[in-house]
Chains A and B, each alone.
Chain A
Amino acid sequence: MKTDAELVASALRGSQDAYRELVKRFERPVYSLVVRMVQDPAAAEDLAQEVFLKAFRRLGSYDPQWKFSSWLFKIAHNTTIDYLRRGGPATVPLEAEEGDKGGLGAVLADGTTADPQAMAERRDLARSLERAIAQLRPEYRQAVLMFYAHGASYQDICEVTGLPLGTVKTNLHRARKELAQAMTSLGWGPKGEMAGETGRVPGS
């Protein structure tokens, strides 16, 4: 399998297959980040497309010393900020109906477990987590998503957001605390505190 840098070099030489491979390789990470940031699937697809278009136009300026994903996330970061600044509808929580293929329902119903109750619990938990993430401030949300959902390092987040290391660490720490508070307020609690069992408070 070709590395990202090799694909970029092929794309710059005019290989259309390389362009396609780059999109296929990064469409999920970019779309996931954007949709969780803007909380609007329709706008997210448009923005994610814009991210790739900007990347293709500026591919010549990409420095292979950088990780391609970091470079792409930086473009996603700028594009998302510009959208949120323009006053995009960032106040609607990302919800999905049952069976919604583009939404959370599809994400959670991954079929890795055959137990319907376990699947329902997992779906419930993930929906709560998405809701809690949506309640975070945009800068906290992006730090959490990049660090935990995309496995980015502190340094990667610094490069993408342009923030100092200390600020990134502080944002992540506060975001984690706020996330825990949000999950607790949504009815989730540690084992032993919720009627002897993990999970949501009965009736919540």
Chain B
Amino acid sequence: MRPSHQNALDRWLAAERGDRPEEAEAALAELFGALPLIAPPAGFADRVLVRAGIQAARGGVFASRVVRLVLAACLVAMGLGVLWLPPTLRWLAGRWSLSDVVQGGVQALIDGTQWLASALRLWDLLLTIGGALTQPLTLPQVTAILVACLVASSLAFRFLRDQISGERNWTYVDPI
């Protein structure tokens, strides 16, 4: 027995040659019916949801078994740390004297102050440059021109975007 899709092919091509459009249309529809849709590669839906950021939020942060294991390990380590903390502190206290601690603190304070002074000098320089750049804006004419340029460029950008995304026809697509 001849497969139905081959019968459909026969009827379609014969109808085209005989110029019988309705019959040709029905036969071609039947022929396409014999061809199933093409499935995307496995895991397509998962990849879409990941890209959409949906699956990440699906089970929350603690949904992953690895995350839960790491969290449990951290809690165990923290418990052990609490047990070892008092003897460790006693050992450190025996190694450092009070004058060492005070000297370290003073040195840290000096380093911090010097860093802050450097940051303030840089900020002062940036303020000077900014002031020089904005000086022309105090003139009303310059401000008006700048605003006009901004409005014109915004309108041009909007128009360009509408042109690109609005008119989606086949005119500019090269035929194969």
Shortest C-beta distance, B166 to chain A (Å), equals 10
- The contact of B36 among A56, A110, A161, A183, by CB within 8 Å, is A110
**B6 x A199 contact (CB < 8 A):** yes
**B35 x A77 contact (CB < 8 A):** no
Looking at chain A's contact residues, is the secondary structure mostly helix, strand, loop, or mixed?
A: helix
The distance in angstroms between the C-alpha atoms of A183 and B44, with both chains bound, is: 32
Which stretch in B26-34, B76-84, B99-107, B113-121 binds the other chain? B26-34
- Residues 3-33 of chain B, each 1 if its beta carbon lies under 8 Å from chain A, else 0: 1011101111110110001001100110110
* Residues of chain A at interface, number, CB under 8 A: 70
Inter-chain contact total with CB atoms closer than 8 Å: 154
**A106 x B39 contact (CB < 8 A):** yes
- The contact of B12 among A41, A48, A77, A180, by CB within 8 Å, is A180
Closest B-chain residue to A96, C-beta based?
B38
The distance in angstroms between the C-alpha atoms of A24 and B45, with both chains bound, is: 6
Does B172 touch A at the CB level, under 8 Å?
yes
Q: A49-B51, A81-B168, A90-B176 given as contacts; is B45 within 8 A of A23 (CB)?
A: yes
Shortest C-beta distance, A171 to chain B (Å), equals 9
Q: A82-B168, A106-B39 given as contacts; is B5 within 8 A of A122 (CB)?
A: yes
**In the complex, chain B residues whose CB is within 8 Å of the CB of A147:** 29
What are 22 A-B pairs with beta-carbon distances under 8 A?
Answer: A19-B49, A19-B54, A24-B45, A35-B38, A49-B48, A52-B48, A84-B174, A122-B5, A122-B34, A126-B34, A126-B35, A136-B176, A137-B170, A138-B176, A147-B29, A148-B31, A148-B32, A162-B169, A180-B13, A180-B24, A190-B11, A198-B10
Given contacts A23-B48, A179-B28, 12 further A-B contacts (CB under 8 A): A16-B55, A27-B45, A27-B48, A39-B176, A81-B169, A91-B176, A102-B39, A107-B38, A148-B28, A162-B168, A180-B12, A180-B24
